[in-house]
Amino acid sequence: MNAEPLLIVGILTAIFVGYNIGGSTTGPAFGPAVGANVITKVMAAGLMSIFFFLGAYTIGPKVVMTLGEKLVTDTSIFTLRSNVAVLFFIGGALFVGNYAGVPASTSMTAVGAIAALGFATGELNWNELGEIAVWWIVAPILGFWVAGVVGRYFYPQINAWIAIESKQGGRPMVSIDRSGVVPRLRFGADADRREITGALVVVGIGCLMGFASGTSNIANAIAPIYGTGDIDMIPLILIGSAAVAVGCFTIARRTLDTLGNDITNLPLTAAIVVAVISSGIVIGLSSIGIPASFVVIATMSIVGLGWGRATRTTTLSGVRAGEETRVSVGALTAEEEGERSPEIGEEDVEDIPKASDLFDPSTTARVILMQNVVPAISTIGAYLTFRFVPIFGF
């Protein structure tokens, strides 16, 4: 097969990868806002598409150069034939996660496939891979513990300041009114000013997460093709971002349900906390060229916040005077507007849900399992192919 058909196949495969990136990253970015019924899935997809492109265009090239130039010691291994195979394993593995409704880590999946190519050919830059791996371990732990500390000690104060509640059922809090010449935002009739402000904040931070995703994840779709030098960076970013947008409007509906509803029923305050923590970590890593595991960081932040709220304790009056009993407090549910934020030990025991109500352990376990299985499929499949299939000529 000559070069031109292979290049076309490579671009089509990159589009397939971008499509699955849109499916796997929209959930962590806008799942909390959709789950809290602030915006619709269509609005989430549109906002994700726009801000993903902005992140890809501005900071994304740094991560593209890491995967397309630094992760291997000789970029000549990025032949058109090998690129098709790399992108096939990235896209195929991500599709498995999206089909299961679990947002897998695109960065781990892509780095795994490219590293497998480098390892099979003896051109893997172990120092670069080691630096990436260290940050992959540190970043989710950091997200989990920061979110856990916020949930354990600061969430009631933040919630009292924001004073907004999830609007489950009925019309979303924020929608678009297209009745006039110029479309404009329309808010629910029962939403007060503080709730509107909170809704705009959580949507805005979801946009920040979309931007963060673009800074890191665009490289996963286009880095192998960029490594060949056949196509410039900007056209590849435009192609990849368009493919991501298609995924946002289609297959992302599954991951929006998983991250917005199945793991935990996040109120808006919790969504804001998770978004700030995860997007801050991802943008920070992308700015130094590290392909961040956006999905893992966001997911572990959600779990960390739920865990932190579940470990809040309250004091019950014992049978005998002076006797105290400690119980778990489920504080992810928003306090009633206008009430003073309770300190630890002040919550009303009758209003305490079980810890299992805060986040679904079985769904959380499924998400974490798939986030490890999907990159393993990509890495192992790519290595066996490049190591033992003669057609690649390595």
| pLDDT digits 0-9 by tens, 126-171 | 999 999 989 988 998 999 999 999 988 888 887 777 655 555 455 6
Question: Can you tell me the distance from the alpha carbon of 135 to that of 138, in angstroms, rounded to the nearest whole number?
Answer: 5
On the question of pLDDT at 124 being above 70, the answer is yes
DSSP 8-state secondary structure symbol assigned to residue 42: H
Report, as an integer, the average pLDDT of 171-188. Answer: 62
In 3D space, the residue among 145, 166, 108, 105 whose CA is nearest the CA of residue 303 turns out to be 145
CB 269 within 8 A of CB 162: yes
> Cα separations (Å) of 203 from 30, 45, 206, 332?
8, 12, 5, 19
Residue 178 sits at φ, ψ, to 5 deg, of -105, 15
Report, as an integer, the average pLDDT of 201-215. Answer: 86
> CB under 8 Å to 365, separation ≥6 — which residues?
none
| pLDDT digits 0-9 by tens, 224-262 | 888 878 888 999 999 999 999 999 998 887 667 655 554
Mean pLDDT is lowest, of 91-95, 121-125, 222-226, 238-242, for 91-95
How many residues does this entry show for the chain? Answer: 394
Give the residue numbers spanning the domain of 168.
3-392
Question: Can you tell me the distance from the alpha carbon of 71 to that of 57, in angstroms, rounded to the nearest whole number?
Answer: 21
**What pairs with residue 324 in β-bridges?**
317
Higher-scoring residue by pLDDT: 170, 66 = 66
Query: So what's the pLDDT on residue 387?
Result: 85
On the question of pLDDT at 347 being above 50, the answer is no
pTM: 0.72
Higher-scoring residue by pLDDT: 277, 6 = 277
Question: Can you tell me the distance from the alpha carbon of 351 to that of 385, in angstroms, rounded to the nearest whole number?
Answer: 57
Query: So what's the pLDDT on residue 302?
Result: 79
Question: Can you tell me the distance from the alpha carbon of 213 to that of 219, in angstroms, rounded to the nearest whole number?
Answer: 10
Query: So what's the pLDDT on residue 366?
Result: 64
DSSP 8-state secondary structure symbol assigned to residue 340: P
Question: Can you tell me the distance from the alpha carbon of 378 to that of 394, in angstroms, rounded to the nearest whole number?
Answer: 19
| Per-residue buried b or exposed e for 46-56, using 16+ beta carbons within 10 Å of the residue's own CB | bbbbbbbbbbb
Highest-confidence range of 25-34, 235-244, 285-294, 333-342, by mean pLDDT? 235-244
Total number of domains constituting the chain = 1
Higher-scoring residue by pLDDT: 339, 364 = 364
| pLDDT digits 0-9 by tens, 19-44 | 888 887 787 778 767 776 778 888 88
Helix, strand, coil abundance in the chain, percent, nearest 5: 70, 5, 25
Residue 183 token pair:
């479309």
Query: So what's the pLDDT on residue 170?
Result: 54
Question: Can you tell me the distance from the alpha carbon of 280 to that of 209, in angstroms, rounded to the nearest whole number?
Answer: 8
Residue 51 sits at φ, ψ, to 5 deg, of -80, -25
Report, as an integer, the average pLDDT of 196-200. Answer: 74
Query: So what's the pLDDT on residue 216?
Result: 87
In 3D space, the residue among 307, 297, 318 whose CA is nearest the CA of residue 136 turns out to be 297
Question: Can you tell me the distance from the alpha carbon of 21 to that of 38, in angstroms, rounded to the nearest whole number?
Answer: 23
The per-residue pLDDT of the chain, averaged, comes to 75
